[in-house]
Amino acid sequence: MTLDLVHFTPWTSLAGGLLIGLAAALFVLLNGRVLGVSGIVGGLLRPGAGDRGWRLSFLAGLFAAPALWSLFAAPVAPRIAAGPVLLVLSGLLVGWGTRYGSGCTSGHGVCGISRLSPRSVLATLAFMATGFATVFVLRHTLLGAA
């Protein structure tokens, strides 16, 4: 296996991490709420929720930011080694996991760990361990044998 240097972007990754941290800190300071994407999306699906405006604006920003970034930087086309069925199944499993874990990696991993929440530390460890195990099993046993 060779190291793909095109996808090794430490400075861009650092800048993105700093921006995510800043956004999470500002969101808590200005709104008193944890910046968890699954909770924000979940709030849109609740009937009668009166706070749809900021939730839709937040989601629009999630989609607009990469488009804006591509105006200033040459985007690297992602390589996804999975078909559409596997991607949809994976997305559904992630959605189920965030519901089951009462939050997602942005809520637990970014906001919860920064607040030293033991529950968030355990949830993030569970997310990561499950991801590592899934990749290992798929790449080195099930798909690797094919």
pLDDT of residue 134: 84
12-30 tens-digit pLDDT: 889 888 988 899 899 989 9
Express each pLDDT in 82-129 by its tens digit: 788 888 888 888 888 887 778 887 888 888 888 899 999 998 898 889
What pLDDT, on a 0 to 100 scale, did the predictor assign at position 107? Answer: 84
Report yes or no: 108 and 124 within 8 Å, Cβ to Cβ. yes
pTM confidence score? 0.69
Average of per-residue pLDDT across 35-51: 82
19 and 88 in contact (C-beta within 8 Å)? no
pLDDT > 50? residue 130: yes
The confidence band for 38, taking pLDDT boundaries of 50, 70 and 90, is confident
Contact between 37 and 104 (Cβ < 8 Å): yes
User: Is the pLDDT score of 146 beyond 60?
Assistant: no
Structure confidence at residue 2 (pLDDT): 52
List, for residues 47-58, the tens digit of each pLDDT value: 776 788 889 999
Query: Token pair for residue 27?
Result: 């969101």
Which pLDDT belongs to residue 64?
93
Contact 55, 39 (CB under 8 A): no
pLDDT tens per residue across span 72-89:
877 777 777 778 888 888
Mapping DSSP to helix (H, G, I), strand (E, B) and coil, where does residue 22 land? helix
